[in-house]
Chain A
């Protein structure tokens, strides 16, 4: 495997997974806020990108994140029936299942891509999910997507920004 920037971060001691999280504004983002106000502690590996609704999450965002070096992608939305926009989370759920198969074909382990329903009051489940995911991915090791990702990134760029 060629050296990449990621391997630098992973370097000597312990591999620190890089996880991109897409959280909806009304449920999971607020759960993360609540985890903060209640001073819960969890692994610092997750970087949150806020969207209004999990339904906004284009599968390309997930592919792009993996292509740019994410070791895992976490999607957080409102529980079924609770979507602030009525049904955005159902749409996310369908896309999630389809995308999972695509990722599987690409050799990306299931544990690296996760969809969780976490409501605004569920700070504890948020903490648990993040910690669990970080542990699982730490065991899996870095995602060696670099070689195919060179092409992958170009393709994504082509489609994403017309």
Chain B
């Protein structure tokens, strides 16, 4: 490689490094030509190409050249700065330069991977390198800012992910605020009867963890509460939590439930949310026997006292001296300061009513899989006995897979857990009722530890498997209450009609309806469907693009319990790593004011979203508070005199970039 020993007369000595990234870049871009082109640019002293710039020898090359050629500016043309900017800044630093006398050029994600025409892609790479070379000469040494990280953590969502993360963090001695919207923690897992493929009882493995959460001295559990507002930034978030009124004084309630028995409504009349409306509850209720926290809740929509104010208040009587019932309780807003946030907000199941041809909501004996979980559960509406809505015991059951999954009309994604839970339900239904069970599937997906073995076991138990998607569900012509499932058996190549007593729709997993709202509140990103987006699909699966906020569990995508717990542990570990460091290094891209040029017009003051710009009336100039400045640069673009400036994004740097990409050499 040609390394002409020439400066540009201004003392700037630039080194340019063009990465092959194996064939990732070199396959589409003539890297040799790009390096040659760069070598001719003013100020460039060394221009090289190398197979993998991010490798140790690649970085060594930069360090050595800095010494040998007295370089004071470095340009690396490789992948996205989001991937390796830190790496190269590190190399520049160990070479003895300030890490910010460096500019990265993205010729992989933005060029070689998105173009096919080699000449055009090379020309684009040339232009981008040219822009960086012109820009980098204006770079000046900068210092990163250190921001302290507060010790406490907010975990949003008290399903198994939130529970596991909260316990991990609390065991490490950090204070955790666990906020859950429902009256009890436990999430979906608490509703299940057994878990696949081991058939552990869900409650038996979950409830001890729930109790631990309540008992842990480092956890503040706020159930029946929602996050309302999030402000601040990594290390220093200020969060407002809305604590909905239960109309129960939590400190006084001991969970004896005598009030429930004493309620004036002796017959439960209101749909029980925890049993998905399959049973009724009273206006004063506990979600389920093992609910945590063990506080009852009053439903103001149902309770007569809220309507007439003339109830005999038998519940208050039953509560007696404990005086835990307070009909005048108001919602409370708690404000907390935390350093890090974990989002574990979970999923919702697909609403099968959206596919009317399966008869959900029309035929009483068509159930969603979650309803069947409750039917099988000892604390469910039938105390674990599988009886149909018409009181019969099913003698045959059809389970239809992929309801609201792998479907162009609803959700294109595979929900990952349905095949396995369908097998589990098949096993449990057969065990409890002795019914014939038919599984209608598209493909059986059992890629997990001991999953395939479980599939074989269920098959050996005599469950029938029919490969084909059910096209129609209709009442049997015999009028005996049975439903006929019609499907093309794609293995036999024949249409089959199977009459069954009970239909189970294996509904898929979806992002929560308010995922969009939550995402906005926390300023993270969602993929098209509404799943929260991780920072990197492989290397940063629980991080988000917002520093200090992590995601875990099914809010990121469909997941089973082991994967959810693994992610929750990972997210807790990531948060701990930041907390233990005690501080975070921030980009030195803050704004500043050149006082001599400032006319004191205050335009910038109003523009700043963080109120980081103050005004010095004595000197008649604006001044930036570096601690509050987040480095957006909005003030810079409105300053009429050019006195507001931004480190790393100076006007002249950007003008040079514009000039660089447009100058055709």
**Chain A residues at the B interface, C-beta cutoff of 8 Å:** 5-6, 8-9, 16, 18, 20, 26-27, 29-30, 32-33, 35-37, 39-42, 44, 47-53, 55-59, 61, 64-65, 68-70, 81-82, 84-88, 91, 95, 119-122, 127, 160-162
Q: Which of B632-665 contact A (CB under 8 A)?
A: 632-634, 636-638, 641-642, 646, 649, 651-652, 654-655, 657-659, 661-664
Contact of A47 among B82, B124, B609 (CB under 8 A): B124
Chain B's closest residue to A48 (CB) is: B110
Q: Which of B504-552 contact A (CB under 8 A)?
A: 520, 523, 525-528, 533, 545-546
A50 vs B533: C-alpha distance when bound (angstroms): 21
Contact of B115 among A37, A44, A47, A70 (CB under 8 A): A44
Residues of A within 8 A of B634 (CB): 53, 55-56, 85, 88, 91
Q: Do A56 and B646 touch across chains, with their CB atoms under 8 A apart?
A: yes
Residues of A within 8 A of B111 (CB): 44
Given contacts A39-B114, A68-B658, A121-B525, 12 further A-B contacts (CB under 8 A): A30-B525, A36-B109, A41-B115, A52-B633, A55-B634, A56-B646, A57-B637, A58-B651, A61-B658, A82-B523, A86-B609, A120-B525
Chain A nearest CB from B545 CB (Å) reads: 6
A5 vs B127: C-alpha distance when bound (angstroms): 14
Provide a sorted-by-A list of 30 A–B residue pairs whose CB atoms are within 8 angstroms: A6-B664, A8-B664, A20-B662, A26-B545, A27-B525, A32-B114, A33-B82, A35-B113, A36-B108, A41-B115, A44-B114, A44-B120, A47-B127, A47-B661, A48-B106, A49-B658, A49-B661, A50-B81, A52-B633, A52-B649, A55-B632, A56-B637, A59-B637, A61-B658, A70-B658, A84-B545, A85-B634, A87-B609, A121-B526, A122-B528
Chain A nearest CB from B23 CB (Å) reads: 13
Chain A's closest residue to B109 (CB) is: A36
Residues of B within 8 A of A95 (CB): 637
Residues of B within 8 A of A59 (CB): 637
Q: Do B658 and A65 touch across chains, with their CB atoms under 8 A apart?
A: yes
Q: Check: B503 CB closer than 8 A to any chain A CB.
A: no
**Interface size class, chain B:** 35 or more
Q: Do A61 and B654 touch across chains, with their CB atoms under 8 A apart?
A: yes
Residues of A within 8 A of B68 (CB): none
Residues of A within 8 A of B663 (CB): 68
A84 vs B654: C-alpha distance when bound (angstroms): 21
Residues of B within 8 A of A37 (CB): 109, 113
Contact of B633 among A40, A53, A82 (CB under 8 A): A53
Chain B nearest CB from A97 CB (Å) reads: 15
Residues of A within 8 A of B553 (CB): none
A42 vs B124: C-alpha distance when bound (angstroms): 13
Q: Do A88 and B658 touch across chains, with their CB atoms under 8 A apart?
A: no
Q: Check: B64 CB closer than 8 A to any chain A CB.
A: no
Contact with A along B479-523 (1 / 0, CB 8 A): 000000000000000000000000000000000000000001001
Q: Do A49 and B657 touch across chains, with their CB atoms under 8 A apart?
A: yes
Contact of A70 among B128, B528, B662 (CB under 8 A): B662
Q: Which of B106-152 contact A (CB under 8 A)?
A: 106, 108-111, 113-117, 120-121, 123-124, 127-128, 131
A6 vs B662: C-alpha distance when bound (angstroms): 9
Q: Check: B589 CB closer than 8 A to any chain A CB.
A: yes
Chain A nearest CB from B196 CB (Å) reads: 31
Q: Do A69 and B654 touch across chains, with their CB atoms under 8 A apart?
A: no
A78 vs B434: C-alpha distance when bound (angstroms): 56
Given A44-B120, A121-B525, A121-B528, A52–B655 Cβ distance below 8 Å? no
Chain B nearest CB from A126 CB (Å) reads: 10
Q: Do B658 and A40 touch across chains, with their CB atoms under 8 A apart?
A: no
- Number of CB contacts from chain A to chain B under 8 A: 154
Q: Do B662 and A161 touch across chains, with their CB atoms under 8 A apart?
A: no
Residues of A within 8 A of B520 (CB): 81-82
Given A56-B649, A57-B637, A161-B651, A88–B525 Cβ distance below 8 Å? no
Contact of A85 among B80, B110, B632, B659 (CB under 8 A): B632
Residues of B within 8 A of A88 (CB): 609, 632, 634
A37 vs B636: C-alpha distance when bound (angstroms): 33
Residues of B within 8 A of A53 (CB): 632-634
A56 vs B525: C-alpha distance when bound (angstroms): 21
Q: Check: B561 CB closer than 8 A to any chain A CB.
A: no
Q: Check: B468 CB closer than 8 A to any chain A CB.
A: no
A67 vs B106: C-alpha distance when bound (angstroms): 25
Residues of A within 8 A of B414 (CB): none
Q: Do A58 and B658 touch across chains, with their CB atoms under 8 A apart?
A: no
Given A55-B632, A88-B609, A161–B113 Cβ distance below 8 Å? no
A114 vs B661: C-alpha distance when bound (angstroms): 18
Q: Do A47 and B528 touch across chains, with their CB atoms under 8 A apart?
A: no
Chain B nearest CB from A107 CB (Å) reads: 20
Q: Do B632 and A56 touch across chains, with their CB atoms under 8 A apart?
A: yes
A5 vs B632: C-alpha distance when bound (angstroms): 35
Q: Do A56 and B636 touch across chains, with their CB atoms under 8 A apart?
A: yes
Q: Check: B630 CB closer than 8 A to any chain A CB.
A: yes
A43 vs B30: C-alpha distance when bound (angstroms): 18
A52 vs B533: C-alpha distance when bound (angstroms): 20
Residues of B within 8 A of A41 (CB): 114-116
Contact of B131 among A18, A47, A64 (CB under 8 A): A47
Residues of A within 8 A of B80 (CB): 33, 36
A49 vs B6: C-alpha distance when bound (angstroms): 28
Given A44-B121, A50-B81, A52-B589, A58–B114 Cβ distance below 8 Å? no
Given A44-B115, A49-B661, A121-B526, A161–B609 Cβ distance below 8 Å? no
Chain A's closest residue to B609 (CB) is: A86
Residues of B within 8 A of A49 (CB): 131, 654, 657-658, 661
Q: Do A42 and B114 touch across chains, with their CB atoms under 8 A apart?
A: yes
Chain A nearest CB from B495 CB (Å) reads: 38
Q: Do A64 and B609 touch across chains, with their CB atoms under 8 A apart?
A: no
Q: Do A160 and B655 touch across chains, with their CB atoms under 8 A apart?
A: yes
Q: Do B662 and A30 touch across chains, with their CB atoms under 8 A apart?
A: no
Given A33-B110, A48-B106, A160-B651, A84–B636 Cβ distance below 8 Å? no
Given A47-B128, A51-B633, A120–B110 Cβ distance below 8 Å? no
Given A51-B633, A56-B636, A64-B658, A35–B109 Cβ distance below 8 Å? yes
Residues of A within 8 A of B609 (CB): 85-88
Q: Do B523 and A84 touch across chains, with their CB atoms under 8 A apart?
A: yes
Residues of B within 8 A of A91 (CB): 607, 634, 637-638
A22 vs B110: C-alpha distance when bound (angstroms): 13
Chain B nearest CB from A29 CB (Å) reads: 8
Given A35-B109, A36-B80, A61-B654, A20–B661 Cβ distance below 8 Å? yes
Residues of B within 8 A of A160 (CB): 642, 651, 655
Residues of A within 8 A of B123 (CB): 44
A127 vs B642: C-alpha distance when bound (angstroms): 35
Please list the 6 inter-chain residue pairs (A to B) with the smallest Cβ-Cβ separation, ordered nearest first.
Answer: A36-B109, A56-B633, A55-B634, A85-B632, A47-B661, A53-B632
Q: Do A32 and B109 touch across chains, with their CB atoms under 8 A apart?
A: yes
A95 vs B663: C-alpha distance when bound (angstroms): 26
Chain B's closest residue to A4 (CB) is: B664
Residues of A within 8 A of B659 (CB): 64, 68
Chain B nearest CB from A2 CB (Å) reads: 16
Chain A's closest residue to B597 (CB) is: A162
Task: Specify which of A27, A44, A51, A85 lies most central, judged by the most chain B CB atoms within 10 Å of its CB.
Answer: A44
Contact of B533 among A39, A85, A120 (CB under 8 A): A120
